Structure 1
């Protein structure tokens, strides 16, 4: 039995910074069965945003004429080189983590798959280790419905390893991951069809957002099939045949990407050997400080079901670090939902949607401005999308906002900061902003708020 002060299972965006922080107070064991860095570094943010950037360069090369630039025909996406650039970025991030861990004599890295023997004992390869404080940080992976296991399919991990472009990429799932891959591979040169079981894309968004995103993708000749309640997939050699019941559609493609949701990687931990409470999906139950029901055991990152983003995972680290080493002031319940959809143009979202605010019974005011009414967007030649604010009529504070359009993923952070400060929207409205920018039109939008009644 090897004893440590702290054990961290998983080296994702919550686990690595926590290991370095706790190493100042004692010995730390960190366990990783795959590559260091977790999803963000290896098959999430870093590689996919590298692909988004390459896809944008491809789009630019085909749209010079509208900006008065004559670009000779013949631009072609080289997926092998795109992947090579991505690999350099990923390996650079990963090596930085590896070097930092190796140079810290208080941190011991165990490579392999861990499982619990009891509440405080963990088996890893031929070792058994224990600690008074254990942190589960195992992340999540693509969900694979049983209906698709009999055919060749890609996940968000596999598709990043392709070196040849799919002739026709069929994507099951019209949410964030599916839409990002759909647009980037269409821009690379693949034919793309997205199949969605619902009547609109990313149904958690307001309907006007979903419709605008669908229009953006359809304008790039991405086919979208809605209301696919029953999907039958067969394969003959390298040909994928998808039949959608109800619309009697038959879609033939060369590659199939599954993007129907995520599942926590807790199934290999043998939690049944412990008293740790987890739900039917495998998410570990935690309180406001990421503590499980067992004293000294925490669950951080995607596996606790309290967030599904790098920034929420990192915030889990901050919450736990402050709970153990600080004054215990940070809490999960204090954070405001914020995220991006990194299609082009991107969506930046913070707080409640309009539907959520109405459902909660708020009396709301809304501000709206289409991007084609924003001077800088017109000058850039990027006028798709809109910005929308949702204001509490009583407190005059933001309940939420979205910016779907050029720079939306960056612009939204200004509203996020105001929401954390609990200041009224008039602070933003009355401030002086740089001209010419896209964000300077948010104050203009806030000058013309309209009441919205519930229902």
Structure 2
């Protein structure tokens, strides 16, 4: 058994920088990776999807170029080229991350599947069946999550895709049915609709992106439907079956029974934590009923010295949260920072076109919790930059404390909505009030300049 000072299981966006920092502090460290260095973000998530979304954006712009006075005779979509471009960028990022690990003194990279065989004993099984045992007083679990496969009658009888496998399909799905109506589903739906698929989205909740305010969900639904995507909400899939025409889904929406047929099905119904293979019962680390590792507000599990970071612990499943997890752990362990996950902001962005940038609480949350607020709202059709660029879909919305003027949350639907949201995030962090932003000088004619006008709506 090889002894280390620290072991990191999983090389995602939290595990990789943490392992490097641990080794940099003189700790003999091992990082174990079952598949590819870089985790979901680089290999299956952010990097490949945003690369392909860029291609879809170009296709959409060319298809509607007459809107800007440009006439094109036509165009073709070269999906194999798009996939190859995506793969090249993924490989570049992955190799860079792997090089950073292997060149770190005091850090050992081990490929294989990790499982606990004792409280702080890990057995790693390599692809050829070989085994080695490791132990360390500090263990960090960063194994992430994988696409959830729902229990639907007949699903086992048809081929289906996930957000991982779809990205390697070099033949464009003719009629793509997507089960799920949240961030991954909507990004993928618009992406493939723009590349030429006929997309149908089926969501069980009454609205898309169920965690967002209804007005946000309504605008998103509207622009997706305007692009030709069919959307069913409040729809339960009762069965799936192969037919001569393709794959048939049987739905119930209210009292209505409907059948729809597609050539492909994408399962985008959430994520499942990658904990089953860890054999956590051998170490006493507790999980919830869905398999997510339970941690305290400083990311320590039920076993002292064992921590979890990233998607495997539940909570906000975003790359930037995983990265922040590693900073919290490092600062608490080596700088006595006493940081807590309860104190941090959770910004996020959905990369549809236009984007949804989100920070802080929603209006619905404010009402539910009895927080006195004012709502500032400004349509993108009132934003000079949006009018000039011909991208007026969406709105800016901010939740402002009625008494202090502090910004409590924001939703920005619009071109570069995530960037505009980030300005409001910094204002929230710095205690800059709505009144101050209303009078602040921004460069003209940025999208952000219209924050002046957004907060002027509070005066009406």
* Bin of the TM-score, shorter chain as denominator length: over 0.9
Match 1:142 to one of 127, 140, 147:
147
Residue correspondence of structure 1 range 224-263 to structure 2 within 5 A: 224-236=231-243, 239-245=246-252, 246-263=255-272
1:331-378, Cα deviation, whole Å (9 max, x unpaired): 211112211111001010000010011111100011110111111101
TM-score (norm 1): 0.97
Shift of residue 116, structure 1, vs aligned partner: 0.5
Residues in 1 aligned to 2:13 and 2:245: alpha-carbon distance in whole angstroms: 37
Shift of residue 77, structure 1, vs aligned partner: 1.3
Q: Are the aligned partners of 2:378 and 2:457 in contact in 1 as well (CA < 8 Å)? A: no
Residues in 2 aligned to 1:79 and 1:116: alpha-carbon distance in whole angstroms: 42
Q: Are the aligned partners of 1:76 and 1:188 in contact in 2 as well (CA < 8 Å)? A: no
Residues in 2 aligned to 1:81 and 1:116: alpha-carbon distance in whole angstroms: 42
Partner of 2:341: 332
Match 2:167 to one of 160, 177, 185:
160
Partner of 2:78: 78
Of 205-214 and 426-435, deviating more is 426-435
Partner of 2:68: 67
Partner of 1:192: 199
Query: Which segments of 5 or more consecutive residues in structure 2 lack a partner in the other structure?
Result: 126-130
Partner of 2:128: none
Q: Are the aligned partners of 1:365 and 1:450 in contact in 2 as well (CA < 8 Å)? A: no
Residues in 2 aligned to 1:48 and 1:168: alpha-carbon distance in whole angstroms: 20
Shift of residue 150, structure 1, vs aligned partner: 3.3
Residues in 2 aligned to 1:206 and 1:315: alpha-carbon distance in whole angstroms: 26
Residues in 1 aligned to 2:156 and 2:343: alpha-carbon distance in whole angstroms: 40
SS of residue in 2 equivalent to 1:23: helix
1:267-317, Cα deviation, whole Å (9 max, x unpaired): 110111121121111111111211112111100001111320000000000
SS of residue in 2 equivalent to 1:333: helix
Residues in 2 aligned to 1:106 and 1:307: alpha-carbon distance in whole angstroms: 32
Q: Are the aligned partners of 1:139 and 1:303 in contact in 2 as well (CA < 8 Å)? A: yes
Query: Which segments of 5 or more consecutive residues in structure 1 lack a partner in the other structure?
Result: none
1:60-119, Cα deviation, whole Å (9 max, x unpaired): 11111111111112x121110000000010000110122122222311111111110111
Match 1:346 to one of 352, 355, 371:
355
Q: Are the aligned partners of 2:311 and 2:322 in contact in 1 as well (CA < 8 Å)? A: yes
Residues in 2 aligned to 1:64 and 1:219: alpha-carbon distance in whole angstroms: 16
Residue correspondence of structure 1 range 310-389 to structure 2 within 5 A: 310-389=319-398
Partner of 2:107: 107
Residue correspondence of structure 1 range 9-88 to structure 2 within 5 A: 9-24=9-24, 25-73=26-74, 75-88=75-88
Residues in 1 aligned to 2:85 and 2:420: alpha-carbon distance in whole angstroms: 28
Match 1:302 to one of 304, 307, 311:
311
Partner of 2:89: 89
| Alpha-carbon RMSD | 1.3
Partner of 1:393: 402
Residue correspondence of structure 1 range 268-287 to structure 2 within 5 A: 268-287=277-296
Residues in 2 aligned to 1:337 and 1:46: alpha-carbon distance in whole angstroms: 20
Q: Are the aligned partners of 1:137 and 1:303 in contact in 2 as well (CA < 8 Å)? A: yes
Residues in 1 aligned to 2:185 and 2:134: alpha-carbon distance in whole angstroms: 40
Q: Are the aligned partners of 2:397 and 2:412 in contact in 1 as well (CA < 8 Å)? A: yes
Of 412-421 and 239-248, deviating more is 239-248
Partner of 1:446: 455
Q: Are the aligned partners of 2:251 and 2:259 in contact in 1 as well (CA < 8 Å)? A: yes
Matched pairs, number: 450
Residues in 2 aligned to 1:266 and 1:427: alpha-carbon distance in whole angstroms: 47
- Structure 1 segments of 4+ aligned residues over 3 angstroms from their partners: none
TM-score (norm 2): 0.96
Partner of 1:220: 227
Q: Are the aligned partners of 2:237 and 2:249 in contact in 1 as well (CA < 8 Å)? A: no
SS of residue in 1 equivalent to 2:16: helix
Shift of residue 32, structure 1, vs aligned partner: 0.5
